């Protein structure tokens, strides 16, 4: 959903179209979007912009089952890619649905839901893109074994379309597990929930996902996903005293929401801030709050060592976040100055 002022919409269908649109953008600010479905989760541009929608670049251009790699355009939907990869007994281990592949990487989506899982940065081998001035370029590689200099591919993850436009992504895949099953332990108090959360994270045989969710009455449910050989999965569910269940939603449907990362020791304090929270074994969280408590909640999170930002709420609220590491802020500013010296992308 787009909730900011748009002067015009550009819908390229090829890399050449993207290059032409950017080259012709003199004096105009552009916001790069995919299908426009998740713009309400990030900070809006500072003023009216034209949108460059990459949803029309939606082709799966290559699947190499032997090499566990694939190449896709940014507008390919995650669900469509998953269906195609399943035919090859492969998967891209990200936990998003209903969004585009480009959006997952541009947002720096949470990636792993448990220790030992795959962060989105580890799944991107390289890409083809277009600089804000309209010049095409390549970064990284199409294969797992490669030699490269500065890893611009990794810089793209979490850049939110503010560095350049990506027109094709080269991805690292994983074999599809033989069997996978979600299970849950419900009705827990906060102390027991945190104890089990840490215990599940320390398992010798890691779970594929761990999700802890609370309710307004401070009751907690702990969800796990075991994957692998069928017998191993069944043994894990039995050992952890879980009941089979449907996959839980790890994204809160809240009018005002804060998302971020946290250190392991902060779990119990996170639960005390507000029980309307979801935390994952990958040390990410989403917290539902009232709009008038954004400032105080971000201050409390910063005191716990969390990094967080408002990811749902009124446009003016979505500019709020915990303090950014000065070195990271300086690196981002330098990258933008080099890659987009005209400050076209907003």
Between residues 146 and 323, the one the model is more confident about = 323
Q: What is the pLDDT of residue 110?
A: 59
Question: CA-CA distance, 274 to 269, in Å (whole number)?
Answer: 9
- State the pLDDT at residue 147: 44
* pTM for this entry: 0.89
Q: Which CATH architecture has domain 60-175?
A: 2-Layer Sandwich (3.30)
Residue 279: pLDDT over 80: yes
pLDDT in tens, 329-343: 888 899 999 999 999
pLDDT-derived band at 112 (thresholds 50, 70, 90) equals confident
Mean local confidence (pLDDT), 15-42:
90
The three-state (H, E, C) secondary structure of 178-234, written as one string: CEEEEEEEEEECHHHHHHHHHHHHCCCCCCCEEEEEECCCCCEEEEEEEEECHHHHH
Residue percentage of the chain with pLDDT more than 90: 71
How many angstroms separate the CA atoms of 259 and 118, rounded?
19
60-175 and 179-319: identical CATH topology: no
Sequence ranges of the domains in the chain: 6-54, 60-175, 179-319
CA 174/CA 18 separation, integer angstroms: 31
Model confidence at 311: pLDDT above 70:
yes
244 vs 110, 207, 208, 277, 295, CA distance in Å? 24, 14, 15, 22, 39
Specify the length of the chain in residues.
346
C-alpha pair distances (Å), 90 with each of 60, 87, 146, 329: 14, 7, 22, 37
**Percentage, residues of the chain above pLDDT 70:** 97
Residue-wise pLDDT tens digits, 237-266:
999 999 999 998 777 777 899 999 999 999
- What is the 3-state secondary structure of the chain? CCCCCEEEEECCCCHHHHHHHHHCCCCCCEEEECCCCCHHHCCCCCCCEEEEECCCCCCEEEEECCCCEEEECCCCEHHHHHHHHHHCCEECCCCCCCCEHHHHHHHCCCCCECCCCCCHHHHEEEEEEECCCCCEEEEECCCCCCCCCCCHHHHHCCCCCCCCEEEEEEEECEECCCEEEEEEEEEECHHHHHHHHHHHHCCCCCCCEEEEEECCCCCEEEEEEEEECHHHHHHHHHHCCCEECCCCCCCCCCCCEEEEECCHHHHHHHHHHCCCEEEECCCEEEEECCHHHHHHHHHHHHHCCCEEEEEECCCCHHHCECCCCHHHHHHHHHHHHHHCCCCCEC
CATH 3.10.450 fits 179-319, yes or no: no
Which pLDDT value is given to residue 144?
A: 56
């Amino acid at each position: 959903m787009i909730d900011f002022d748009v002067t015009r919409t550009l819908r390229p269908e090829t890399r050449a179209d993207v290059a032409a649109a950017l080259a012709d953008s003199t004096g105009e600010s552009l916001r790069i979007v995919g299908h426009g479905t998740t713009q309400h989760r990030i900070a809006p541009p500072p003023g009216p912009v034209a949108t460059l929608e990459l949803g029309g670049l939606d082709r799966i251009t290559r699947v190499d089952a032997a090499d566990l790699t694939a190449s896709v355009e940014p507008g390919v939907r995650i669900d469509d890619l998953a269906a195609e990869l399943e035919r090859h007994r492969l998967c891209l281990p990200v936990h998003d649905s209903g969004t585009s592949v480009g959006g997952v990487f541009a947002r720096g989506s949470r990636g792993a839901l448990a220790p030992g899982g795959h962060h989105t940065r580890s799944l991107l081998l390289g890409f083809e893109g277009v600089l804000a001035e309209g010049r095409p370029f390549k970064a990284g590689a199409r294969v797992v074994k490669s030699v490269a200099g500065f890893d611009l591919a990794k810089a793209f993850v979490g850049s939110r379309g503010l560095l350049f436009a990506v027109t094709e992504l080269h991805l690292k895949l994983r074999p599809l597990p033989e069997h996978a099953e979600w299970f849950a332990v419900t009705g827990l108090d906060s102390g027991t929930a945190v104890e089990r959360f840490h215990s599940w994270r320390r398992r010798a045989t890691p779970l594929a996902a761990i999700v802890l969710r609370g309710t307004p009455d401070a009751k907690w449910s702990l969800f796990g996903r075991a994957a692998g050989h069928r017998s191993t999965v069944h043994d894990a569910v039995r050992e952890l005293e879980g009941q089979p269940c449907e996959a839980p939603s790890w994204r809160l449907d809240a009018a005002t929401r804060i998302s971020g990362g946290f250190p392991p020791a902060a779990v119990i304090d996170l639960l005390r801030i507000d029980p309307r929270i979801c935390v994952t074994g990958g040390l990410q969280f989403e917290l539902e709050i009232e709009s008038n408590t954004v400032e105080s909640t971000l201050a409390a999170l910063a005191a716990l060592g969390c990094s967080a930002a408002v990811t749902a709420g009124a446009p003016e609220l979505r500019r709020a976040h915990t303090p950014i590491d000065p070195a990271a802020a300086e690196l981002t500013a330098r990258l933008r100055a080099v890659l987009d010296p005209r400050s076209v992308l907003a």
